[in-house]
Amino acid sequence: MNLPTHTTIASAAGNWWRNAVIYQIYPRSFADADGDGIGDLPGILSRMEYLAALGVDALWLSPFYRSPQTDAGYDVSDYRDVDPLFGTLDDFDRLLQAAHARDLRIIVDLVPNHTSDEHAWFRAALASPPGSVERARYMFRDGRGADGSEPPNNWQSVFGGGAWSRAEGDRQWYLHLFDRKQPDLDWNNPEVRTEFESVLRFWLDRGVDGFRVDVAHGLIKAAGLPDWAGETSMVDGAPAQDASDGVNRGPMWDQDNVHAIYRDWRRILDSYPGDRMMVAEAWVRPQSRLARYVRPDEMNQAFNFDYLLARWNAPMLRTIIDASLAAAAEVGAPATWVTSNHDTVRITSRLGLSHPGIRPKGISAADEQPDEALGLRRARALAMLTLALPGSAYIYQGEELGLPEDTTMPATFRQDPAFRRTGGREIGRDGCRVPLPWVAGAPSLGFGPGAATWLPQPEGFAGYAVDRQEGAPDSTLELYHALLRLRREHGLGRGAVRWQASPDQVLVFDNGPVRVVVNLGTDDVDLPPGTPIASSLALPGEGRLPGNGAAWLSVP
Ligand code: GLC
Ligand code: MG
């Protein structure tokens, strides 16, 4: 195991990211300024007041770079330009300025594991012979079998099907852990490292505050690319406590040598003024392995997917919270809390299932349909848990509206390569990527100036529109406003968890002056002593808290 080069932990006080609330914008689906039905950077700019009013600290933008959009922009053909779908570099600069003017930091997405097959490098590779320097940037290999017609190993793509393809007429195979239009780079090649350091500098020079690093656990593959009998998956449906050791541990994931890359990057970030950060998307278990990505000289944060995958179960949540806090503390990093993103079924819908929390990888019309009201009730209670925890919390756009997954989208609209590559066996991620509702009754629910939306908006979305919720005291948006304000006021992000005695299926802890009570059961329970300052539902009085409800009290 590689030990950090220095072991002293910098003082926590000044690092904004240690307790930041970070709002994920999925640009395609946030707001559309030019009316083509696809969200864009000017659309985000036009909603800057909304974002500033929300009370978050930073915005993470999913990819907006030049891309053929095979994987919604996670297939980048030019890392230093904005795709015309989303605007221009000038639009980006304007957005960054407007955000900074409102004390909002900007984190951009970095996709280093693979490029698009339309990237200049991959085109050059295909035009060059086996053994060329152009091919050495990717994972080209000769096939197995007498005539090389068998793939070099048995790996499967995360999106289904084989992980190797051959270009038309080409003798060699290339590796793609994702779609065949997303060839994996060879991170043992120094030229690849130099190129990405330059990409980092490009965006740091423009003033970004950090990077969300895509597939951070995948860049280095085990030497020799050994066969692997297991499934190649990222999102693992099993919660931490049920996961047997060995899940997601194939030779394509979490190799020790990957950490040297992040040490190099950290040195670059630290050489810039301000306090720049990186957050790892690493589907890695257990927490102690994940913590290696956030050692003092590596990344600053890693997404806590054990928390995202937790069930609606008080002891399980408590165990995961404690393990997350302990693992992060071990390396001096902040814990993070996330319940949804653009790759997983929206939390409101997962919590509305009869086994709440299952099915992170998609709910189809043929599956059990979530109970929308119950899911929302639980999601509001869960938000009161998440936003009360010390460390850094993530909100996926629409979560603050209580927006559900679209679980009934007809197959003809689906665009996720996982849906196509598995022949529909995996329903895919389109249901959590539906354009946001801003104005009930307007065309495209106010997403854009016209009626066009790149995915259809289900009928029920009007009821969640921003204009319906703004100023409405019981709305989910106003609950988020209140929680984010109280979290800031009471310094909850810098605090600590002190568990209090509680009945089964109830979590009670104090964080500074705030006492947090979450009732995951169905029956009313007695509230502990303290005056309510926020609640996820109307409190019936007499000191009772209904099932699937939560409250914040001031500690007496
Ligand atoms: C990450 C992204 C996901 C993408 C994949 C391949 O998991 O979050 O959306 O499909 O990487 O880049
Ligand atoms: Mg547009």
- What is the number of the ligand closest to the CA of 177? 1
Closest CA to 517 of 467, 477, 553, 465: 553
* pLDDT of residue 8 exceeding 50: no
Q: Are 300 and 277 in contact (CB under 8 A)?
A: yes
Ligand in nearest proximity to the CA of 233: 1
Q: What is the atom index within ligand 1 of the atom nearest the CA of 343?
A: 9
Distance of CA 394 to the CA centre of its chain: 8
Instruction: Pick the ligand that lies closest to the CA of residue 38.
Output: 2
473's tokens: 């005291």
Task: List all residues whose CB is within 6 A of at least one atom of ligand 1.
Answer: 71, 74, 111, 178, 214-215, 234, 281, 342-343
The mean pLDDT of 178-187, rounded to a whole number, is: 98
Structure tokens at 408: 């009934």
Best substitution site from 60, 64, 74 to test ligand 1's pocket, by max atoms within 8 Å of Cβ? 74
**Helix, strand or coil, per DSSP, at residue 459:** helix
pLDDT of 476 above 70: yes
Name the pairing type of β-strands 173-175 and 164-165: antiparallel
What is the DSSP-derived secondary structure letter of residue 18? G
Percent of the chain residues topping a pLDDT of 70:
96
Of 107, 108, 104, the closest CA to residue 56 belongs to 104
Determine the distance separating the centroid of ligand 2 and the alpha carbon of 494, expressed in angstroms: 39
Distance CA 233, CA 435 (A): 27
pLDDT the model gives residue 233: 85
Q: What is the largest CA-CA distance in the chain?
A: 79
- Per-residue DSSP letters for 201-260? HHHHHHT--EEEETTTT-SS--TT-----S---SS--S-TTTPPTTTT-STTS--TTHHH
Question: Ligand 1 centroid to 125 CA: how many Å?
Answer: 23
- Higher pLDDT residue, 263 or 249? 263
Tokens of 29: 């689906």
Q: In what order do the strands lie in the sheet with 514-519?
A: 498-499, 506-511, 514-519, 549-554, 531-535
223/485 Cα distance (integer angstroms): 50
Ligand 2 centroid – CA 453 distance (Å): 9
Assess whether the previous peptide bond of 273 is cis (omega < 30° from 0): no
Contact between residue 526 and residue 517 where contact means Cβ atoms under 8 Å apart: no
Q: Is 107 helix (H, G, I), strand (E, B) or coil?
A: strand
Q: Which one of the ligands is nearest to 85 CA?
A: 2
Q: What is the DSSP letter of 54?
A: H
What distance in Å separates the CA atoms of residue 187 and residue 168, rounded to the nearest whole number? Answer: 25
Counting from 1 in the atom list of ligand 1, the atom nearest the Cα of 418 is 10
Contacts of 515 (CB under 8 A, 6+ apart): 500, 508, 509, 528, 530, 552, 553, 554, 555
Secondary structure of 488-551 in the HEC alphabet? HHCCHHHCCCEECCCCCCEEEEEECCEEEEEECCCCCEECCCCEEEEECCCCCCCCEECCCEEE
Instruction: Round to whole Å and give the CA distance between 267 and 296.
Output: 11
Is 542 one of the catalytic residues? no
The residue whose C-alpha atom lies closest to atom 4 belonging to ligand 1 is: 74
Return d(Cα 175, Cα 193) in angstroms, integer: 18
Distances (CA, A) of 135 to 124, 164, 168, 193, 196: 8, 15, 16, 15, 17
What's the rounded Cα separation, in Å, for the pair 410 and 412?
Answer: 5
> 448 CA distance to ligand 2 centroid (A)?
8
Q: 404 C-alpha to center of ligand 2: Å?
A: 23
Cβ-count burial 196-225 (b if 16+ within 10 Å, e if not): beebbeebbeebbbbbbbbbbbbbbbeeeb
pLDDT in tens, 504-539: 999 999 999 999 999 999 999 999 999 999 999 999
In Å, how far from its chain's centre is CA 275?
Answer: 21
Q: What is the structure's pLDDT at 12?
A: 42
Kindly report, residue by residue over 285-342, the tens digit of the pLDDT. Answer: 999 999 999 999 999 999 999 999 999 999 999 999 999 999 999 999 999 999 999 9
| Residue 293 backbone class (left: φ over 0; alpha: ψ -120 to 50; beta: rest) | alpha
Provide the pLDDT for residue 27.
98
Q: Does the pTM exceed 0.85?
A: yes
Q: Is the peptide bond before 286 cis (omega within 30 degrees of 0)?
A: yes
User: Among 71, 79, 177, which residue has the most ligand 1 atoms within 8 Å of its CB, making it the best to mutate?
Assistant: 71
The residue annotated as part of the active site, out of 75, 109, 179, 214, is 214
- pLDDT at position 13, please? 54
Angle (CA) 79 50 463, round 5°: 105
Partners of residue 302 on adjacent β-strands: 280
Residue nearest to atom 7 of ligand 1 (CA): 215
What pLDDT shows up at residue 4?
Answer: 35
Catalytic choice (281, 399, 405, 426): 281
CA distance 498 to 271: 37
What pLDDT is stored for residue 242 in this prediction? 62
Closest atom of ligand 1 relative to the 75 alpha carbon: 12
Which position has the token pair 């104090």? 510
Q: How far is the centre of ligand 1, averaged over its atoms, from the C-alpha of 461 (Å)?
A: 26
Q: Which atom of ligand 1 is least distant from the CA of 417? A: 10
* Ligand 2 centroid from CA 32, angstroms: 4
> Whose alpha carbon is nearest atom 5 of ligand 1?
74
How many angstroms is it from 74 CA to the middle of ligand 1?
6
**pLDDT band for position 9 (cuts 50, 70, 90):** very low
Instruction: With beta carbons less than 8 A apart as the criterion, state whether 436 and 454 touch.
Output: no
How much is the pLDDT for 257?
98
| Confidence (pLDDT) at 236 | 78
Angle 74-79-81 (CA atoms, 0-180°, nearest 5)? 110
pLDDT, tens only, 371-408: 999 999 999 999 999 999 999 999 999 999 999 999 99
- How would residue 198 be classed by pLDDT, with cut points 50, 70 and 90? very high
For residue 243, the model assigns a pLDDT of 54
Ligand 1 atom closest to the CA of 429, numbered from 1: 9
Element (H, E) at 58: strand 58-61
Atom of ligand 1 nearest to the CA of 113: 12
Residue 211: pLDDT over 60: yes
Instruction: Share the mean pLDDT of the chain.
Output: 95
Going by pLDDT thresholds of 50, 70 and 90, the confidence category of residue 247 is low
Specify whether the CB–CB gap between 407 and 369 falls below 8 A: yes
Q: How far apart are CA 279 and CA 164, in angstroms?
A: 29
Ligand nearest to the CA of 280: 1
Catalytic (active site) residue 205:
no
Neighbours of 485 (CB within 10 A): 12
Residue 446 Cα, ligand 1 centroid: separation in angstroms? 28
Residues 408-456: pLDDT tens digits? 999 999 999 999 999 999 999 999 999 999 999 999 999 999 999 999 9
Nearest-CA residue for atom 9 of ligand 1: 343
Tell which one of 25, 178, 182 to mutate to probe ligand 1, the residue whose CB is within 8 A of the most ligand atoms: 178
Q: Are strands 65-66 and 498-499 parallel, antiparallel or unpaired?
A: unpaired
Give the mutation target among 180, 343, 416 for probing the ligand 1 site: most ligand atoms within 8 A of CB.
343
pLDDT of 470 > 60? The answer is yes
Question: Which atom of ligand 1 lies nearest, measured to the CA of 74?
Answer: 12
Query: Where residue 246 falls among pLDDT bands split at 50, 70, 90?
Result: very low
